Structure 1
Amino acid sequence: MRVFLFVAGLGLIASAAEAQTSSYEAVERARYEACLQRVETDPENAYEDALAWKYDGGGWPALHCEARALVTLGEEEEGARRMEAMGMASDGGTDAMRVLVLAEAGEAFLLANAPEEARRAYTNALSFNENSAPLWMGRARAALVQEMWTAAEADATAAISHNAGLAEAWRTRAEARLELGRLDGAESDMNRARELDPADIETLVIRGRILEARRLGG
């Protein structure tokens, strides 16, 4: 199982790690990239490599690779907790680095069916970048799992305010409004989501639920 990241991928993560210190050696950057890539194909050995690297002074990159490997190995909650701790540590690096690991922690907590912890991780990430639509969407997804419909609506609205082209945000708000009994708003949001992503199955399911709610007089 792999974490689905909305961050810009390996290059951005590596750049964030590079920014940690001007003395960061090219060979260490290459080791970090290789470790993250190995997580995808051989997570057990990637974990062992990261563990050894950590005790050899690997610092932030080694810790991140170790946590990523744990998530891929099915230890989502433990990996998430380690990434969350990294993001909130006093030596957690730049704001960009903190956002990356906290966002990834949020995704891993969702995989572990721990939405309360996921919402906390996204909230902490937003404290470093409140203008990120993906972070607001992370919080909204966690709220949906918790059936916190008003919170999900508010977070999806915030995501839309930062990226009106994000189909998931419109779909999420449609679902929240449906659950709140606001069928007109739900239908409007659902239609916008369909315009942005006509083939999305989840949006079509919400459309069916809205039609059923109207049929039943909701």
Structure 2
Amino acid sequence: MMTAFASLLLPFALMQTATPDAGGAAARTAERFSQCVAMIDDDAERAYEEAMAWAAEVQSVGAYRCAAMALVAQNRYAEGARRLDSLGSAVNPAETATRAELFSQAGNAWLLGREPARARASFTRAISTIESDPTQLPDLLVDRARAYAMEEDWRHAEEDLSRALDLRPNDALALRLRASARMHQNSFDLAEADAQQAFTLAATEDDRVSAALVLGHVRESKRTGAPVDEQ
């Protein structure tokens, strides 16, 4: 089962995709990676030490990945993000899924560190890597839109979210984020429609609360003629 911290950095269920190794070592690598990631929530410092010891043994990409994730869990966001970006660059170019996953993890780490420009660059590398697989693109586009929104680049955020929704219609999160992006561009009617649809599609109580909050912001913005500051 994925840990709470791991879920922040494993948007594509990476627990199911170990770094490819030769022969029967792949299964052992997958198991060790799973164990290392599971340790992060309980003791991130120990997880880092275990990962680096593993890396010293076999130079496994999985070991370095777990070490980077453990750094992020210790709020050492820049260190972890840089390592993940470097790993993404170092992986065999033929391993497009793994490269995209690493760049995506790096992007999320940069977001946690409030470095939206660096996050955007990492997500763009992930998108370029996986462009031929539309099933993976929506999550990456939503994540890059979050980076754009953190930079208050609402037009590009809306563009990424619209593209994500073209590929995966009725995505409640993308609709909610697009509602916010549209509100900040004074497109209040379109924003209200998105927020209302996000509320209707929300699958959990937390999602409904978040959608209702955005809908309230949009309606207040529409009433006053100025976007609500959501900070």
Measured in 2, the distance between the counterparts of 1:212 and 1:29 equals 50
Residue 28 of structure 1 and its aligned partner are, at CA, apart by: 3.5
Q: Which residue identity lines up with residue 202 of structure 1 in the other structure?
A: S
| 1:84–1:93 Cα change, 3 Å | farther
Q: Deviations over 1:15-71 (max 9, x none)?
A: xx1x34345354333222221221222211111111122122232111111101111
Match of 2:165 among 160, 166, 174: 160
1:83 and 2:84 equivalent? yes
1:183 aligns with 2:188: yes
Q: CA RMSD in A?
A: 1.9
Residue 144, structure 1, aligned to residue 152, structure 2: no
Provide the C-alpha distance between the structure 2 equivalents of 1:105 and 1:25, rounded to a whole number of angstroms.
23
Matches of residues 30-41 of structure 1 in structure 2 within 5 Å? Answer: 30-41=31-42
What SS class does the counterpart of residue 164 from structure 1 fall into? coil
- Aligned sequence identity (%): 32
- Give the structure 1 partner of residue 130 of structure 2: 129
SS in 1 for 2:58: coil
Q: What corresponds to 1:68 in structure 2?
A: 69
Q: 1:209 aligns with which of 202, 208, 217?
A: 217
**Secondary structure class of the residue paired with 1:127:** helix
2:5 match: 2
The verdict on how the C-alpha distance between 1:23 and 1:195 changes in structure 2, with shifts beyond 3 A counting, is same
Q: What are structure 2's unaligned runs of at least 5 residues? A: 227-231
Asked whether the 8 Å contact 2:15–2:34 carries over to 1, the reply is yes
Deviation at 1:6, TM superposition (A): 1.9
Q: TM-score, normalised by structure 1?
A: 0.90
Structure 1 counterpart of 2:100, one-letter code: V
Contact 2:179 2:195 in 1 (8 A): yes
* Structure 1 CA distance for aligned equivalents of residues 171 and 27 of structure 2: 36
Going from structure 1 to structure 2, the CA distance change for 1:46 and 1:217 (only over 3 Å counts) comes to closer
Q: Secondary structure at the match of 2:130?
A: coil
Secondary structure (helix, strand or coil) at the match of 1:21 reads coil
Higher relative contact order (CA 8 A, sep 6+): 1
What does residue range 21-36 of structure 1 map to in structure 2 within 5 Å? 21-22=22-23, 24-36=25-37
> 1:174–1:185: 8 Å Cα contact kept in structure 2?
yes
Unaligned runs of 5+ in 1: none
* Kept in 1: contact 2:91–2:99 (CA 8 A): no
CA spacing shift, 1:133–1:20, aligned 2, 3 Å:
farther
Q: Contact 2:21 / 2:29 at 8 angstroms: preserved in 1? A: no
Residue identity matched to 2:200 = E
After superposition, the C-alpha distances for 1:102-137 in whole angstroms (9 at most, x for unaligned) are 111111111111111111111000012232100000
Change (3 A) 1:36 1:110: same
SS at match of 2:173: helix
Q: What's the secondary structure of 2:25's corresponding residue?
A: coil
Give the aligned partner of residue 116 of structure 1: 117
Aligned in 2, Cα 1:62/1:49: closer, same or farther, shift over 3 Å?
A: same
Provide the rounded CA distance (Å) in 2 between the counterparts of 1:9 and 1:29: 10
